Amino acid sequence: MATQTQATLQAVPSAEDEAGQAYFDKIIAEDSRIEPADWMPEKYRKTLVRQMSQHAHSEIIGMQPEANWITRAPSLKRKAILMAKVQDEAGHGLYLYSATETLGTPRDVLNQQLLDGKAKYSSIFNYPANSWADMGAIGWLVDGAAIANQVPLCRASYGPYGRAMVRICKEESFHQRQGFEILLELSNGTPAQKQMAQDAVNRFYAPALMMFGPTDTDSPNSQQSMAWNIKRFSNDELRSRFVGMIQEQVKVLGLTLPDDKIRYNDETGMWEHGELNWDEFHEVLAGRGPCNAQRMERRREAHENGAWVREAAAAYANKKAQKAQVA
Amino acid sequence: MSGESATRITPGNAYRPEDVAAQVAEGVEVSEDVAEYALRLGDDALILAQRLGWWISRAPELEEDVALANIALDLIGHARSFLTYAGAAWGKSEDDLAYWRGENEFRSSYLVEQPNGDFGKTIARQLVFSAFQHELYSRLVDSADATLAAIAAKALKEVDYHRDHATQWTLRLGDGTEESKRRMAAGLVSVWPYVDQLFQDDDLVGRLEGVAVRPSELRAPFDAYLAGVFAEAGLELPDIPPAMTDKSRHKHSEHLGYLLAEMQVLAREHPGATW
């Protein structure tokens, strides 16, 4: 009986909620911005926390395949550029965690969700970076796909997210150019270097296309996100746009894409591509990709090995604060 | 003419590896001795950057991934400038020197070659090295060699931050928890045998009077700086005798071979390639 009353009570929105919902609907209809202190539907908040933290986790896990090559970069200039890039990714992670915190979920909770396997990150980072050319392919294709996904997010209805994306997109496009440059240099280099570049493009092409998520017919969250002005274009629209872009750029690189089905469809105005292996996508997403276990183990190890350092920093800060109080 | 700089760049202005390379391309003369000295400075920076690079994606906090990457990046910048300048004496590029020299041709110190260990040991190595480098560059800015002076002037601002970073962490770890104090002290014990080598004078430095900085002159201010940090952190100065090293830096720790094997492997798989 008691539960029933509670359920009835919850079902009736308070006057405050009604006013909040009206304001929220008006903001969305006007295509302007929701800010942290504004009322928002619980589902909107949850969707954002899920998407933004997933993005932050992707930045953090995404550091690993590239950090893998910092110690082996083949020239000092490339080593410096790669270090700066991985550093940027840590910065993006921090920025996005902070933006997510404005929705009321602290960073350590988000981090724990990642470590417990409750939160996802982009499945592309579960593929290995076996060669130096992968630094090029990751920059050109993976960061390229990320940009195609993220540029529309600069206009996302949630203010802190949109603003974070503006800065992140600027740095990402820099990274994409650097990746392109690595591949170009390799393509114009020795036969072995060119082979290395082509091999990297062959391996990263399909996983990069899958970064846009399942096809529109198989993407349950997309509709609501579009209604809330978080998402602006469908997965397939973005993927098509990306294919159109890279099929042009690959010619400049003097390389090829491993897909003979790419064509522009005059009727739909969309770029078409070969069938993607969605079974593989779901397998990787479910944790059975080549590097899922390795990536998580490394993150867990860094977190656990750093525990005593974080505890020391907290203890020191406490002592300082106490001394300041006494004084 | 007095005041005329071979670099055309006033010390203190941003001086990048590319500026040194442009200088070298114009045919700047670098003596073997100056080149040998620049190798020591460049190799210390390079090897330490290589060590610190490992931490990126493994640090205790994201903020530290960013900070350690930043320090490593600064050091790579110093290394590139010094190696480019040194290479001018032999017609070699920074990459020729970084990737195609064997272990015995490196001039790095034992200290920077030491493995990272835990965060405590890395901070101990950072504290010692950045305090040393700070004293060194503070004097190298007055070198009669305008290029060395200009590189040092840019590097000094960065090393000032490196030293502060290591100092702040030494205080936190020394005066944090029992465990952090134990680990920080253990880190200092581990690196201490290799501190002495940094301050040894040799014939090369003697021949480069006015150009090179005498390492022995840096010991007193270095000790004074560290004494201040240790006192505030509640740490003891390690009472450990110096290890046998090599004041001319021709000899190395066992660790260097592994480090170079990893650093050079890809470049050496593709002789003559550009990247």
CATH number, domain with residue B92: 1.20.1260.10
Report the pLDDT value the prediction gives residue A9, as an integer from 0 to 100. Answer: 53
User: Nearest by CB to A84, which of B46, B73, B265?
Assistant: B73
Q: Which residue of B has its CA nearest to A314?
A: B176
User: Nearest by CB to A190, which of B63, B267, B273?
Assistant: B273
Would you tell me which residues 40-59 of chain B have a C-beta closer than 8 angstroms to some C-beta of chain A?
A: 46, 49-50, 53-54, 56-59
For residue B235, give the amino acid letter: L
Q: Across the interface, do A90 and B180 touch by the CB < 8 Å criterion?
A: no
Would you tell me which residues 126-165 of chain A have a C-beta closer than 8 angstroms to some C-beta of chain B?
A: 132
Asked whether residue B10 carries a pLDDT value surpassing 60, the answer given is: no
Q: A95-132, pLDDT tens digit by residue?
A: 999 999 999 999 999 999 999 999 999 999 999 999 99
Q: Taking CB atoms and an 8 Å cut-off, how many pairs form between chains A and B?
A: 147
Q: Is residue B274 assigned to a domain?
A: no
Cα gap A18→A12, rounded to integer Å: 10
Cα gap A153→A158, rounded to integer Å: 9
Q: Is the dihedral of CA B140, B142, B148, B154 positive or negative?
A: positive
Q: Across the interface, do A308 and B57 touch by the CB < 8 Å criterion?
A: no
User: Nearest by CB to A83, which of B46, B53, B173?
Assistant: B53
Asked whether residue A180 carries a pLDDT value surpassing 50, the answer given is: yes
> ∠ at Cα A154 (A153, A160), nearest 5°?
100
Confirm whether pTM is higher than 0.90: yes
Confidence of residue A11 (pLDDT cuts 50, 70, 90): low
Q: Is residue B275 assigned to a domain?
A: no
Asked if residue A253 lies in contact with residue A200, where contact means CB atoms within 8 angstroms, the answer is no
Q: Is residue B163 assigned to a domain?
A: yes
Q: Across the interface, do B179 and A74 touch by the CB < 8 Å criterion?
A: no
Q: Across the interface, do B57 and A305 touch by the CB < 8 Å criterion?
A: no
Q: A126-164, pLDDT tens digit by residue?
A: 999 999 999 999 999 999 999 999 999 999 999 999 999
Asked whether residue B4 carries a pLDDT value surpassing 60, the answer given is: no
User: Nearest by CB to A193, which of B49, B99, B273?
Assistant: B273
For residue A145, give the amino acid letter: A
User: Over pLDDT 70: what percentage of chain B?
Assistant: 95
Residues of B in contact with A305 (CB under 8 A): 58, 60, 118-119
Report the pLDDT value the prediction gives residue A222, as an integer from 0 to 100. Answer: 81
Would you tell me which residues 178-217 of chain B have a C-beta closer than 8 angstroms to some C-beta of chain A?
A: 179-180, 183
Q: Retrieve residue B135's tokens.
A: 């004293």
Report the pLDDT value the prediction gives residue B160, as an integer from 0 to 100. Answer: 97
CATH topology of domain A19-277: Ferritin (1.20.1260)
Q: What is the mean pLDDT of chain B?
A: 94
Number of domains in chain B: 1
In chain A, what are the domain boundaries? 19-277
Least confident of A13-22, A236-245, A281-290, B195-204: A13-22
Cα gap A38→B136, rounded to integer Å: 55
Q: Across the interface, do B56 and A298 touch by the CB < 8 Å criterion?
A: no
Q: Across the interface, do A76 and B173 touch by the CB < 8 Å criterion?
A: no
More confident residue, A9 or A204: A204
Q: Is residue B114 assigned to a domain?
A: yes
> What range defines the domain where residue B244 resides?
3-269
Q: What are phi and psi of B202, to 5 degrees?
A: -140, -175
User: What DSSP string describes A43-58?
Assistant: HHHHHHHHHHHHHHHH
**Does B37 lie at the interface with A, CB-CB under 8 angstroms?**
no
For residue B85, give the amino acid letter: Y
SS3 of chain B: CCCCCCCCCCECECCCHHHHHHHHHCCCCCCHHHHHHHHHHHHHHHHHHHHHHCCCCCCCCHHHHHHHHHHHHHHHHHHHHHHHHHHCCCCCCHHHHHHHCCHHHCCCCHHHHCCCCCHHHHHHHHHHHHHHHHHHHHHHCCCCCHHHHHHHHHHHHHHHHHHHHHHHHHHHHHCCCHHHHHHHHHHHHHHHHHCHHHHCCCHHHHHCECCECCHHHHHHHHHHHHHHHHHHHCCCCCCCCCCCCCCCCCCCCCHHHHHHHHHHHHHHHCCCCCC
DSSP SS3 for A89: helix
Q: B252-262, pLDDT tens digit by residue?
A: 999 999 999 99
Q: B131-173, pLDDT tens digit by residue?
A: 999 999 999 999 999 999 999 999 999 999 999 999 999 999 9
Report the pLDDT value the prediction gives residue A14, as an integer from 0 to 100. Answer: 86
Greatest Cα pair distance, chain A, in angstroms, is 78
